[in-house]
């Protein structure tokens, strides 16, 4: 450590102990040169703010007003872009905000004025001492003690009680080696923010392709409004330790048209994906805002009707409905090919008259480029299955043989393909006979793709030999 820095730190500690000649500097949001907010999927945001402040040589009490009300003070990082060396000695987060109730609580044991009106309408003003605000207001007048307030009463305070702030304030005790208009960069993590992607897909009438619009939904419940801010979004699961509260004080050390210009840019960053919005925006407190993420047309899809059954349950069913899945390739060939953040995928379909009806939604995870993802939109009304066991025989203590009948029904006016997966639950299985050959045998399951004509039914039968336990 250089002798200059040693001297600066020593003098800072001396001044901090003496609390003498401290220069008070107040900085509000209007002093900000730049605000950048990076939002994560887990309710956290990183705020990076640049402010120019006039510091004096020696000790400065810097009040940074209008920070997030849910700031995590222990994550604060301060950097001086100027020439002078700074030493951060102490910081306090003052989150007792100014309100009528807070003023009363801070006025316990002091006198306030109560202005009201008597039964004749004449103005009455009295002095009383605030005794308690616990469960209600208790006031001591010169000749009595009362609870509550007269109707239409006004409270008059001589001054704002100590410790109350009009806005969330981060108080920093700084030592500066010289007078300077210091360009400071303040970075901190805060709660109260969240974002997710919302997708709106409109299916074609023949259900072979769809148009897609993506929105970013931003939520600000941080207790603070951030105006004219640069926004970035991180897609991915960033690990964080639990936050058990914020201490008040701590010691710290230093398609028809080209829409691309209005859509976020995307880039890989470490093991995550970063989306940068092209224009600055204002995030008001307690506001939910939507911004455009993507727009794509004529995206091909595959629609599947799925059934899954577990043989070991020995369960039978009647008219069990098929689960509907839409399979989508996130590739450039499919007019997509970009990382898709997790979010809610809502599906609409146009009727013959052009009216769009909502047909289902599902939450999708983060989808990387060139991956296939699927959306479960619900259960089919007209495609069902009935399952039954027609024969069961125990061959040995560990082996069984059973015959199964599966009846597929399609009440639609068009043919469909049902994907039926039978889970045998163990590797020791063998099909002895089948009416339809399975399209796939993997591990402990077999899958059939059954073509069902319009307004018709198809029956699948099979007999299976199961090794129920290890020998």
Alpha-carbon dihedral angle through residues 86, 87, 93, 94, given to the nearest 10 degrees: -70
The residue assigned the tokens 């066991």 is 389
Report the phi/psi class of residue 286: left, alpha or beta, with left for phi > 0 and alpha for psi in -120 to 50.
Answer: left
Structure token pair of residue 450: 């059954």
The HSE-up count of residue 156 (CA atoms within 13 Å, CB side) is 9
Domains parsed from the chain with CATH numbers: 100-156 (2.30.30), 303-321+380-467 (2.60.40.290)
- Coil vs helix vs strand at 178: coil
Mean pLDDT on 418-442: 92
Structure tokens at 390: 């027609």
For 263-290, how does the pLDDT look when each residue is reduced to its tens digit (9 = 90+)? 667 776 666 778 888 888 899 999 999 9
Name the residue among 67, 30, 27, 34 with its Cα closest to residue 50.
Answer: 34
390, β-bridge pairs: none
Burial of 39 (0-12, 13-18, 19+ CB in 10 A): buried
pLDDT confidence of residue 244: 39
Positive or negative torsion for Cα 43, 44, 48, 51? positive
State pLDDT tens for residues 13-52. Answer: 444 444 557 888 888 877 778 899 999 888 899 999 999 9
Model confidence pLDDT, tens digit, residues 72-93: 888 888 888 888 788 888 888 7
């Amino acid at each position: 450590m250089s002798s200059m820095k040693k001297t600066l730190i020593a003098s800072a500690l001396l001044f901090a102990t003496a609390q003498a000649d401290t220069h008070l500097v107040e900085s509000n949001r209007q002093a900000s040169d730049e605000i950048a907010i990076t939002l994560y999927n887990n309710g956290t945001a990183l705020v990076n703010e640049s402010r120019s402040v006039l510091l004096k040589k020696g000790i400065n009490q810097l009040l940074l007003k209008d920070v997030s009300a849910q700031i995590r003070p222990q994550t604060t990082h301060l950097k001086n872009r100027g020439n002078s060396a700074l030493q951060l000695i102490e910081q306090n987060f003052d989150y007792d905000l100014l309100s009528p109730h807070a003023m009363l609580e801070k006025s316990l044991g002091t006198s306030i004025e109560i202005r009201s009106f008597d039964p004749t309408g004449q103005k009455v003003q009295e002095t009383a001492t605030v005794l308690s605000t616990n469960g209600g207001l208790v006031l001591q007048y010169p000749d009595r003690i009362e609870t509550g307030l007269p109707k239409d009463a006004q409270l008059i305070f001589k001054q704002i009680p100590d410790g109350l702030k009009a806005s969330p304030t981060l108080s920093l005790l700084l030592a500066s080696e010289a007078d300077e208009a210091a360009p400071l960069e303040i970075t901190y993590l805060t709660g109260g923010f969240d974002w997710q992607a919302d997708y709106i897909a409109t299916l074609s009438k023949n259900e072979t392709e769809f148009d897609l619009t993506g929105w970013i939904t931003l939520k600000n419940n941080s207790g603070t409004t951030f105006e004219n801010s640069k926004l970035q979004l991180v897609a991915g699961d960033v690990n964080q330790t639990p936050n058990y509260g914020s201490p008040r004080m701590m010691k710290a050390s230093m398609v028809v048209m080209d829409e691309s210009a209005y859509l976020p840019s995307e880039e890989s960053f470490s093991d995550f994906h970063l989306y940068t919005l092209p224009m600055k925006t204002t995030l008001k407190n307690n506001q939910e805002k939507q911004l455009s993420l993507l727009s794509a047309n004529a995206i091909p899809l595959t629609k599947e009707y799925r059934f899954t059954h577990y043989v070991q349950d020995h369960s039978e069913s009647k008219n069990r409905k098929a689960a509907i899945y839409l399979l989508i390739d996130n590739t450039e060939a499919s007019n997509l090919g970009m990382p898709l953040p997790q979010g809610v995928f809502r599906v609409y379909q146009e009727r013959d008259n052009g009216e769009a009806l909502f047909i289902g939604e599902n939450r999708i995870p983060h989808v990387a480029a060139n991956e296939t993802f699927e959306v479960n939109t619900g259960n089919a009304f007209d495609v069902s299955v009935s399952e039954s066991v027609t024969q069961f025989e125990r061959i040995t203590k560990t082996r069984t043989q059973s015959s199964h009948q599966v009846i597929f029904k399609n009440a639609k006016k068009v043919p469909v393909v049902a994907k039926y997966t039978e889970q045998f639950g163990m590797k020791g299985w063998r099909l002895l006979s089948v009416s339809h050959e399975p399209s796939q045998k993997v591990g402990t399951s077999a899958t059939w793709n059954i073509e069902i004509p319009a307004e018709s039914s198809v029956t699948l039968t099979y007999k299976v030999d199961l090794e129920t336990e290890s020998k």
